[in-house]
Amino acid sequence: MRKLLVTGAAGFIGTNFVNYWHAKKPGDAIVALDSLTYAGNAANLEPLRHEPKFTFIEGDIRDQPLIADLLINYQIDTIVHFAAESHVDRSITGPDAFLETNIIGTHSLLKAAKQIWVDGDFPIKNHHFHHVSTDEVYGSLGRDGSPFCESTPYAPNSPYAASKAASDHLVRAYSQTFKLNTTTSNCSNNYGPFQFPEKLLPLCILNILLGKPIPIYGDGQQIRDWLFVDDHNTAIELVLSSEANGETYNVGGHNEIRNLDVVKLLCVLLDTRFARDETLKLRFPHSPCAKNISAVSLIAFVRDRPGHDVRYAIDASKIKSTFNFLPSETFATGLEKTVDWYLKNQSWWENIQNGSYRVKSN
């Protein structure tokens, strides 16, 4: 039986990971840690609250004594580190929080893990620190550049990417210098349930439902690779189940697509849903789809983001050849699942939009 500390567990990927892991390995103990920033939503984890093997702790990864206590008290042998400030736009308007959480916070976690697992009186030999990172650390590719592989030099362009790059280097340093058993995954854009509606896909879905403009940066020609969140979870599971130590893995969806095309796909998908299901017209009367007008009519080009990377693409051959990992969702099936989830979970996103998700229950 494994005992995991999952940081950032009330955020988008953390929530999906905890649900995924609990469903697949119900015998494992999970301590979910989150400081509940604007991006963390305690309600996401509510269904697990009464599970005997699940514990939620509201706390900050920068609090090294807290982390050390958790490692001891829950006999944690595995850390899966998602906690981060994650939105590029916010890193441009307020980079400090990104340095605090992504760099200082990751360093606190590493120090606590070293203190307990390596230097402690009863070191845990089979410990595993998995750091979840991003393809954005590699910077921007030209339209014809070779996809990022694990040896591509880091060239982060946004404060977000720079802070994640720094955290990756710290993880590597703790592996090399202090013999902490670490792995890192650098993943492309994730999408799926529970994604905070400031990110492209949920923003687009909700704006179509509510009849609001869909803002597209610049000409919308920026290319990203997209991976359904549970495929990312599978990749992390494979890495955690292995003896890998000191390795990094690039994880991608084999699915490069222009931002404008992503938005158009979603527009067509929602046009079709509204045409098929009359109840959607009653639920979302402000959507153009309710008046038989295509959602494409909502697309509005806005001033480009400063330093906007042109293209990210992942060479995922290492994780494929090592673990036989390939995503199981296509972009079409993943988008259908994502749209289904936002349609079924209207109160989840309404609570975010009206701010009530931040009101603490006692």
Instruction: List residues near ligand NAD by CB under 6 A.
Output: 7-8, 10-14, 34-37, 39-40, 60-62, 82-86, 101, 105, 132-134, 164, 187, 189-190, 196
Of residues 135, 231, 237, 271, which has the active-site annotation? 135
| Residue 243 C-beta: closest distance to ligand NAD, Å | 24
* Minimum separation from the CB atom of position 11 to ligand NAD (A): 2
Integer Cα distance of 112 and 235 in angstroms: 25
Residue among 37 and 182 whose Cβ is closer to ligand NAD:
37
Query: Which helix (H) or strand (E) segment is 132 a member of?
Result: strand 128-134
Q: How far apart are CA 167 and CA 104, in angstroms?
A: 8
Active site residue 261: no
Euclidean distance between CA atoms 187 and 345, whole angstroms: 26
Residue from 87, 9, 8, 16 nearest 232 by CA = 16
135 in active site: yes
8 A C-beta contact, residue 246 and residue 176: yes
Q: How far apart are CA 121 and CA 223, in angstroms?
A: 50
Of 101 and 183, the one with the shorter C-beta distance to ligand NAD is 101
C-beta of 111: minimal distance to ligand NAD in Å? 14
* Annotated active-site residue in 20, 85, 138, 160: 160
Sorted by sequence, the CB contacts under 8 Å of residue 241 that are 6+ apart come out as: none
Cα of 106 vs its chain's centroid, Å: 16
Which residues, at least 6 apart from 173, have a Cβ–Cβ distance to it below 8 Å?
A: none
Buried-state track 284-313, b at ≥16 Cβ within 10 A, e below 16:
beebbbbeeebbeebbeeeeeeeeebebbb
The smaller minimum CB distance to ligand NAD, of residues 101 and 222, is found at: 101
Is position 136 annotated as part of the catalytic site? yes
Residue 109: CB minimum distance to ligand NAD, A:
9
Kindly state the tokens that stand for 191: 């999408």
Nearest in space to 327 (alpha carbons), one of 182, 226, 206, 224: 226
Q: Which of 137/298 has CB closer to ligand NAD?
A: 137
Spatial separation of the C-alpha atoms in residues 8 and 29, rounded to whole Å: 16
From the CB of 149, what's the least distance to ligand NAD, in Å? Answer: 16
Q: Which residue's CB is nearer to ligand NAD, number 101 or number 259?
A: 101
Catalytic one of 77, 85, 136, 225: 136
Smallest CA-to-CA distance from 348 within 13, 33, 44 is with: 44
Least Cβ distance, residue 283 to ligand NAD (angstroms): 26
Active site residues: 135-136, 160
